[in-house]
Amino acid sequence: MAAYIRQGDSHRGSGALSARALTTFVKAFGSLATGGLSNSSQDSLKSFSKKDLRENSTKISEVLALCLAALDLPNSPSDRLLHLAIAVDEINASDTPLLRGVGIAGNQINRLEAGFEKVEMESTYTIDELLELLRVAHSLGWKNDRMCKAILKVSEEDGIGPHVFARSLPYLKFVRPSEIEILQKAVELTKGRDAAQCLVQMVSMDALSSDLDECKRLLGTVLGNALSEVEVCKFTTQQLIAALMSGACTPSLSEQIFNSISERISTIGSSQIERISYDFHHHAMTHLSMKSRADMSSIRPKFIGSFVSPTVESLFRDQNLPPLCFAGSPSPGRDSLMTLLKLTRDLSDEHDPSRPRRSVPKNGFKAQLINHAVAATKLVSRDEMSAWDNDKSDRGSVIVANFFDTLAARAVSLSSSLTAAEIGVIMAAFSRVGVYHEFMMETLRSRLFVDRLIDEAQPSTIAAVCWSYVTFNRIEGDAASAIAERLRKLLQFGDVLQLNGHGFIGIIRYLSQLTSQENTGVLRRLVEVQLSTALVDMSASNLSALLVSFVDAHYPTEVNEADIIRQHVTSAVVSSLPWFSPRECVEVGKFYSEFIRCFGIGNQESTILAHCLGSSVVTECRDCDSIAIVLSCIASLSAAGHSGIPGCSLMKTRTIIGQLLRSLDSAEVGESAALVIARSCCAMKIRREKLQSRLMTILEAAGAMTPDLRDCFIELEINST
């Protein structure tokens, strides 16, 4: 065939192929790209070797080049140009074994594009042909301005519905006026099902807008247009997922969508389930009230009924959402232990004859160390480490201990070449799983503070170091001074640091445990510069941990600092109230009890305390420490002139106090909790003879009885048992 085309191309003899024949030949290869092979042909292809496929691809590429070169493209009719463009695009995009290696030269594709310059598109092509040509132009990288203008003109003249604009969207880049006009018409004119399908097209586009707010506005408009005529339950599954991905759903609309999805879950593929699971988790962690969360929990198992995915499973490993049970999932930790065994062998010393290294790892030993340290945090959780620590005979305990011993040894051997950032990664890995290796930590500490690598540490590295010291409760003076000095330099110009919420909390917790005026000043400066950024997307548990650190640091103390708390923190706390656990509610209540004692109470503070110290929360407290904090908060509020818990009557407050004290009758009370409870009861003039006699005995035995407390007991006529 190639020889025949050459012959015809050279002297246009009787054997020359016509333009129609050449076009048909190109179209035939295009049909092969879209599944045009018979079953027998497909079976014969399976016997082809890679060499055979390469040779055939070369021959087909040659024939196609001859065909396109023989065609007079600038003078070809419009229908032939359209058919050629579609076939060339199909061949170029084909992934079939026969055509995978076939290539069409760029100059031939450019000749084909130039052939359309003489075509009057508005009068020549139908709207469907224009859309097909727009798709081809997008795929081949052609200019599409004339096609867009033709679509706008034809749709206006023929009165075609706005669904045409929605179908055009995936093939536009929105850099030309005609493209932007199509987008505007698609957003404004589509209604009902057309708008729902338009939403599907829009969420799949990368080039919609670089402005996130503008994207959200456009998607919200289209979603509103769809809902104006079609109920959520009538959306297709694809349209429901698009609505979730748009980010324009209200909490109530999200719940309707999830309920609709749960009713058709058996028809949804695994990749869609994974996509839905991410949206479900974000919705649950952002919007749902406590009651709604409980209602929605019955739907969650349906999302993963027969679909096992560690990615989806990890989404629900949150303290506010109980873990899901996955049918057929492997026993906990088994795969992790096997991976840890492999990583341990990788890290084994190259000089150890019993475990010789096969070769130098890719990118070197240091890169391997960092990669394995990060991998460890994904393979082992702190809870698993605690369980293994309690059972030293467990096989998992031995494997994990060997891995971290080997990892620590490798870190020490490479310590002289580690940068501050790499040291931060290693320290973060060990602190995250709760494993302390003293010699390794001393070595890394020496690199940071003796060799002064801390002077070049970035905020994320400082956060990792702080978390390490906080986790293992090892606060050292020279380290504190060096960290404070580095932070002061980073904060001196008031620029926001590259630091996430977790890292911010780590630094705050570290500084809150230091008492020097220098460190206190750095803490206040860090809060002033970084707080508003750190609060973005901060979880409820991290938010309560931040407030605990503020209590430890005695922050705020000035009116301007209180204004910062009210401006940034308080609104975040109010929106997170449904997600706080009972223990976290108590910690939040402790902070705000102290806060209003110094700076007065506002509407939001009243809402927070009414929730965090209300009967529905505090009656869930079972441990003595939480009960002691609640009683201390109520006593503090009473001393500040409030009649107990905001939002509760005095009678209701007394009922709550009575419930808490009754729960202590049979509980083991520690020395510190006994002191707080006794002081709170004395401050509120509460007399419970049996309990207070026991508290008095505990305090006297511990030598913690103070004169003022003894006088109070005498006033209440309490004697030790």
pLDDT tens across 609-626, in order? 888 887 666 667 777 888
Q: Which of 3-12, 129-138, 515-524 is the least confident region? A: 3-12
Split at pLDDT 50, 70, 90, the class of 318 is very low
Residue pLDDT, tens place only, 154-171:
888 877 777 888 888 878
The answer to whether the CB of 544 falls within 8 A of the CB of 580 is yes
What gap in Å lies between CA 261 and CA 302, rounded to an integer?
Answer: 9
Q: Which two tokens stand for residue 511?
A: 């500084």
For residue 325, the model assigns a pLDDT of 28
- The DSSP secondary-structure symbol of 392 reads T
161: three-class secondary structure by DSSP: coil
What are the tens digits of pLDDT across the range 63-87?
A: 888 888 888 888 888 888 888 888 8
Alpha helices in 600-664 (DSSP H): 603-612, 615-618, 624-639, 650-663
Mean pLDDT of 537-563: 88
One-letter-per-residue 3-state SS of 204-267: CCCCCCCCHHHHHHHHHHHHHHHHCCCCHHHCCHHHHHHHHHCCCCCHHHHHHHHHHHHHCHHH
| Residue 314: per-residue pLDDT | 36
The per-residue pLDDT for range 408-459, each reduced to its tens digit, is: 888 888 888 888 989 998 998 888 888 888 889 889 988 888 888 888 889 9
Q: Determine whether 294 is exposed, middle or buried from the number of CB atoms within 10 Å of its CB (0-12, 13-18, 19+).
A: exposed
Q: Rounded mean pLDDT of 574-599?
A: 87
Which pTM value belongs to this model?
Answer: 0.52
pLDDT tens-digit readout, 500-524: 888 899 998 888 887 677 677 888 8
What is the pLDDT at residue 288? 52
pLDDT of residue 155: 83
Q: Residue 33's pLDDT band (boundaries 50, 70, 90)?
A: low
Q: Which residue has the higher pLDDT, 352 or 238?
A: 238
pLDDT the model gives residue 315: 35
pLDDT of 703 > 50? The answer is yes
Q: How far apart are CA 397 and CA 187, in angstroms?
A: 59
**Which pLDDT belongs to residue 352?**
44
- With a cut of 80, say whether residue 32 has pLDDT above it: no
318 forms beta bridges with 321
Res. 586: pLDDT tops 70: yes
Is the per-residue pLDDT at 194 higher than 50? yes
Residue 356's pLDDT is 44
Which pLDDT band holds residue 113 (cuts at 50, 70, 90)? confident
